[in-house]
Structure 1
Amino acid sequence: MLNYYIFSILFKVIEVYMMLLGVYVLLSWFPGAYQTRLGYWVAYFVEPLLKPFRKLKLHFGIFDVTVLVAFVALQFLRYLLMQLYIMVFTLW
């Protein structure tokens, strides 16, 4: 039963992080949005995740796909977590 709660919490954390990435992208459309209180807190939580991906130089002209790659990485992490969840609960 405890395993279920651990996996549930991890799924929710990944889901919230993906939503924060979406808000981060939406804030980039508005000038000065990162200087607001909401923009500060979203950037505070999202920038540590984006930092390793920024080292990959994912700029193509004026487009920066760093957030998209981070989103795909979170999706892949969620997939791996789901596979682990299935393995754990089918063996019990």
Structure 2
Amino acid sequence: MLGLLHNILSVAMTIYTFAIVIYILMSWFPGARESSFGQVLATIVEPYLEPFRKIIPPIGGMIDISPLVALFVLRFAMRGLDYLFSFLIRL
């Protein structure tokens, strides 16, 4: 049961990571974020990215590194989840 829950959460977090990466890459293409797919992705990704954007200002006024920090935090959360479930499974 715990293994199944771990797999579901792990896959969900991996898919969310890909969604963030795709959303970041869409900023390189004019009008991509204004498309219907871009807007759907924005409603999924922006609530997670917004707190990081409030804390980390853009470098030189143009380069926004907050999505990278958000990805690192998500990866650390995934590692913590792996550690937690491996600990719980051993009990």
TM-score, normalization by structure 1: 0.92
Q: Secondary structure at the match of 1:29?
A: coil
**1:24 alignment partner in structure 2:** 23
Structure 2 residues not aligned, in runs of 5+: none
Q: C-alpha distance in 2, partners of 1:9/1:74?
A: 16
Cα drift, residue 74 of structure 1: 0.5
TM-score, normalization by structure 2: 0.93
Aligned length: 90
**1:80 alignment partner in structure 2:** 80
**2:49 alignment partner in structure 1:** 50
% same residue: 34
> Per residue, is there more strand in 1 or in 2?
1
Please, what is the CA RMSD of the aligned residues? Answer: 0.9
Asked if the contact 2:6–2:85 (Cα under 8 Å) also holds between the matched residues in 1, the reply is yes
Letter in 2 for 1:7: H
Greater than 3 Å deviation, 4+ residue runs: none
Q: Secondary structure at the match of 2:75?
A: helix
Q: C-alpha distance in 2, partners of 1:90/1:6?
A: 15
Higher RCO by CA contacts (8 Å cutoff, separation 6 or greater): 2
- Per-residue Cα deviation, 1:24-60 (whole angstroms, up to 9, x for no partner): 0110001111110111111110001011111103311
Structure 1 residues not aligned, in runs of 5+: none
